[in-house]
Amino acid sequence: RTLLHKHLVGERILVVSNREPYIHIRTGDTVEVHRPASGLVTAVEPVMRACSGTWIAHGSGSADRETVDSHDRVRVPPHKPEYNLRRIWLTKEEEEGYYYGFANEGLWPLCHIAHVRPVFRTSDWQQYVRINQRFADAVVKEADSDDPVVLVQDYHFALLPAMIRKALPKATIITFWHIPWPNPESFGICPWREELLKGMLGSTILGFHTPYHCKNFLETVDRYLETRIEHESSTISRRGQLTMVESYPISIQWPPAWQGTLPPVDVTRSEILGELGLPLDHLIGVGVDRMDYTKGIPERFMAVERLFELHPELVGRFTFVQIAAPSRSALEEYQAFEARVHSHAERINGRFSRDGRPAIILKAEHHEPEQVNRYYRAADVCMVTSLHDGMNLVAKEYVAARDDERGALVLSQFTGAAHELHEALIVNPYHVEQTAEALHRALTMPDYEQRERMRSMRMLVRDFNVYRWAGRMLLDAARVRQREKLAARIG
């Protein structure tokens, strides 16, 4: 936080993302506030609370319009306002084209290797361009100087940096891509690849989670655009605009918001087991995801099934709890995936549930962060088995939740988190046998080993927390601006 403040003296930052941090929902006579299941929101929200300023996002809740002022703004967090949330309204057609269509049927499967074929429709692309322009106009309106600091978030806004740059040439634009960046061949199938790249190169800083994603991006630019790339400083220069491409592994707030306010782990564990109707000596595992085909949920369930086949002594002694928040459910791909997840759970429960002790408990509904945290604290093991994931903050949240230094993490090698959390049990989720064995190892891990692994992972998350993530980007942005000024002076 100190690092962050040092680089923001006198600044009011602007954040742009598609997903909003607080969603107001009407249920009967009351308005409830939901915090969405989104890694982006988990990471950026504490940064925004630390900095204040304005967050511009798509207003998506049924009661969102009731809570805004005449400038479409609401102060948040609702119970302790610290910054402005400016909502942008989209029509059904706009949301279908820009969000469901181009962003989630096109770019999402394009960037994640989950073997789901991207769909590119010209009409979706046109909406994507229009909505990016709409958000760029909002940034210009919200900016209170001609050189604001703007943090552009994710694949919904690839065109935004160049659009903002055109209107505000002196702006410091920091763009962060929260999902993987594929290799040039894969990216090259997108019919609007050049436009997307040119849009992103309006940024001062362009951040990815890992050096590998940066390398892929540089190679993609090299393949499809005329630019000058300086590998040593990792900068791209195009038509006088300098963009630095760097890896900034995203993280979470530290210390965690709940620190010191929660009951001891043993108490939470007994409560959760009681709520699930399980005996006190039962072992539990947890998975927390959006219901998304990149998350490897069927693969995880198959590993649980294989665990019971290989270790029958655990049948009736271990239950895996999967929390799966509904996501993008208007898309057929997601509906089919959800049906698959349910049918795997039913099949495995048919084989391995005993006397009211299910093998798998599938909770396919929204859970607020406090609830999720209780499960983290109660679970003997957390499984993150994404087929591909930019970072995956669930892995870091689980580690942060375990202030008792117990529990074990099974983590897919295809997440950004696996590059940092070396003390997790790293698996290839496509390898069911290996994942099942890692699960067994987690459930039989001696206390001292759990403690050593957890302690080391907790130190990593503490030291590389989300304030450091944002602070490093701001510091680098200041350096690029200095270089640019110098270059302009000496011609």
Is 19 or 357 the residue whose CB approaches ligand G6P more closely? 19
Report DSSP state, residue 264.
Answer: P
87 forms part of the interface with ligand G6P (CB under 6 A): no
Q: Per CB under 6 A, which region of 38-46, 82-90, 162-170, 224-232 contacts ligand G6P?
A: 38-46
1 forms part of the interface with ligand G6P (CB under 6 A): no
Task: Give the count of residues interacting with ligand G6P (CB under 6 A).
Answer: 11
Is 334 or 464 the residue whose CB approaches ligand G6P more closely? 334
Contact mark string toward ligand G6P, 286..325, x via CB under 6 A:
----x-----------------------------------
Is 327 or 465 the residue whose CB approaches ligand G6P more closely? 327
State the nearest-atom distance from the C-beta of 305 to ligand G6P, in Å: 28
- 13 Ramachandran zone, left/alpha/beta (phi>0; psi -120 to 50): beta
19 forms part of the interface with ligand G6P (CB under 6 A): yes
40 forms part of the interface with ligand G6P (CB under 6 A): yes
Taking the CA atoms of the chain, what radius of gyration do you get in angstroms?
Answer: 23
**3 state SS of 482:** helix
Is 19 or 377 the residue whose CB approaches ligand G6P more closely? 19
Ramachandran angles phi, psi of 79, nearest 5°: -95, -5
Which of 4, 15, 20, 38 touches ligand G6P by CB under 6 A?
38
The answer to whether residues 298 and 341 touch, using CB atoms and an 8 Å cutoff, is yes
- The dihedral built from the CA positions of residue 334, 340, 343 and 348, taken in this order, carries a sign that is negative
Which of 7, 87, 165, 178 touches ligand G6P by CB under 6 A?
178
The answer to whether residues 325 and 289 touch, using CB atoms and an 8 Å cutoff, is yes
377 forms part of the interface with ligand G6P (CB under 6 A): no
State the nearest-atom distance from the C-beta of 451 to ligand G6P, in Å: 31
> What is the Cα–Cα distance from 312 to 486, expressed in whole angstroms?
69
102, 103, 108, 111 alpha-carbon torsion, rounded to 10°: 80
Q: What share of the chain is helix, strand, coil (3-state, %, to 5)?
A: 45, 20, 35
> What is the Cα–Cα distance from 434 to 307, expressed in whole angstroms?
10
SS (H, E, C) 409-425: EEEECCEHHHHCCCCCE
State the nearest-atom distance from the C-beta of 292 to ligand G6P, in Å: 7
The answer to whether residues 382 and 398 touch, using CB atoms and an 8 Å cutoff, is yes
Contact mark string toward ligand G6P, 110..149, x via CB under 6 A:
----------------------------------------
State the nearest-atom distance from the C-beta of 328 to ligand G6P, in Å: 5
> Residue ranges of the alpha helices (H) in 33-82?
39-51, 64-67
Which of 57, 110, 163, 179 touches ligand G6P by CB under 6 A?
179
Residue numbers 328-347 binding ligand G6P by CB under 6 A = 328
What is the residue type of 474? L
Of 79, 90, 80, the residue nearest 57 (C-alpha)? 90
Q: Per CB under 6 A, which region of 37-45, 140-148, 366-374, 411-419 contacts ligand G6P?
A: 37-45
Q: Residues interacting with ligand G6P, by CB under 6 A?
A: 18-19, 38-40, 154, 178-179, 290, 327-328
